[in-house]
Amino acid sequence: MATTTSLDPAARPPISSVLPPLFLGTATFNTQHVKDPLQMPYREIVSRALELGVNGFDTSPYYGPSEVLLGDALAAHAAATNAPRDSYVLVTKAGRIAGNEFDYSPAYVRHSVLRSLKRLNTTYLDLVYMHDVEFVSPAEVLAAVRTLRQLRDEGHIRYVGISGFPVHVLCGLAEMVLAETGEPLDAVLSYGHFTIQNPTLGLPEVVAGPDHNDDRSPLRRFRNAGVQVVLNASMLGMGLLTSTGIPPSCGPEGAAEQGKAGVIASWHPSPDELRAACRQLSTIATAAGERLETVALHWSMEEYARVGALAGLGVQLPGQSGLRVGGSVMGVTSTAELEQTVLAWRHVLQGLAGGGPGRAPSTARYEKLKALVEQEMWPALGVWKGYSWASPDDGFEN
């Protein structure tokens, strides 16, 4: 959403009025998702996203060449269209260097943010998260957040947040930041925990409804910690919830033979049993005349649009005064995947149109998909519904 940009911390508008409801995540501009990111149509993807109204971009130094490619694509688009910087929202991260290497020191966080500014060809960043906070100590997270706030006060960034996998860790750190500094985090990025396989982020609201009073609710804990926005990412479980799925664990040679799915299989933290359970969901979707990706994306975006807004952690929907929705981050490797996801998002908006915050979905199409998930897919998952792998795993050393 285009805004009048203020870098004065005291004059900043609420982050819920700045962030768009749908982001293009660029973790896919990386060798973890494609063999050669330089050969993927990254300029076309970014330009097409902006044409379709997707004007939020999420990246990280950890994602290989992602920041450089995104910066190049945005510069090319600006040169072709004269699009101003405040017509899009740039989000990046700091602190994670490699799979088993993290540096949350104030000096490195500052270095990382200033480097990101150069890579992304911008004078400011709209939001910076500390990346995968579960891998370091709470004291390190606190020091890093304070450094980000110093960078904010200097005008380099506008808002500060954290990202990670274990939801309870994110909740605890948000509570700690408020208790220790007297100032809440602006935003939290949760990934892999509001999917058709694992809806943990939305529990118990996604099952029992928003009036269900349960202090274990992650969204309730975030709200009580003063967080303004919680975004949901990895709606396809980083490849688990796709028609091809993720094959069993294999070495580098096997991964090379299996193409894109094999590339993901070589690093994906899921156990083989979960991969097999998710492949069953593709069979169920096909029998219903659907693609698993379509079902998974539509369910996740629509349910979180509703639940995130009801929890008071949504973003303002452009052009809809007062209407807020839970925001999502998508990842694609082609313009076709982008267009399919945006089409699903537009169906979500149609289902929510005309109502207030948290309006229940009303389209017959969505009701069919929702029934497919709840009545067929969830029972098929059995013990793997709601399963989260350990992060970090046993024996991790930084």
If you ran DSSP here, which 8-state letter would residue 135 be given? G
How far apart are the C-alpha atoms of 132 and 134, rounded to whole Å?
6
CB-CB contact of 292 with 243 (8 Å): yes
| Count of helix runs (H) and strand runs (E) in the chain | 14, 12
Buried b (16+ CB within 10 A) or exposed e, 340-377: bbbebbebbbebbeeeebbbebebeebeebbebbeeeb
Instruction: Look up 63 and say whether it is catalytic.
Output: yes
Q: What CA dihedral angle connects 387, 282, 26 and 370, to 10 degrees?
A: -70
How far apart are the C-alpha atoms of 143 and 318, rounded to whole Å?
35
If you ran DSSP here, which 8-state letter would residue 149 be given? H
If you ran DSSP here, which 8-state letter would residue 247 be given? P
Question: Catalytic residue among 62, 63, 88, 191, which?
Answer: 63
Reply yes or no: is the peptide bond before residue 392 cis, omega within 30 of 0: yes
CB-CB contact of 384 with 274 (8 Å): yes
What is the enclosing helix (H) or strand (E) of 228?
none
How far apart are the C-alpha atoms of 331 and 352, rounded to whole Å?
23
Residue found by looking up tokens 């060449």 in the block: 65
**Residue 355 DSSP SS3:** coil
Reply yes or no: is the peptide bond before residue 13 cis, omega within 30 of 0: no
Among 102, 117, 183, CA closest to 154 = 117
Task: Report the amino acid identity of residue 361.
Answer: P
- Residues designated as active site: 63
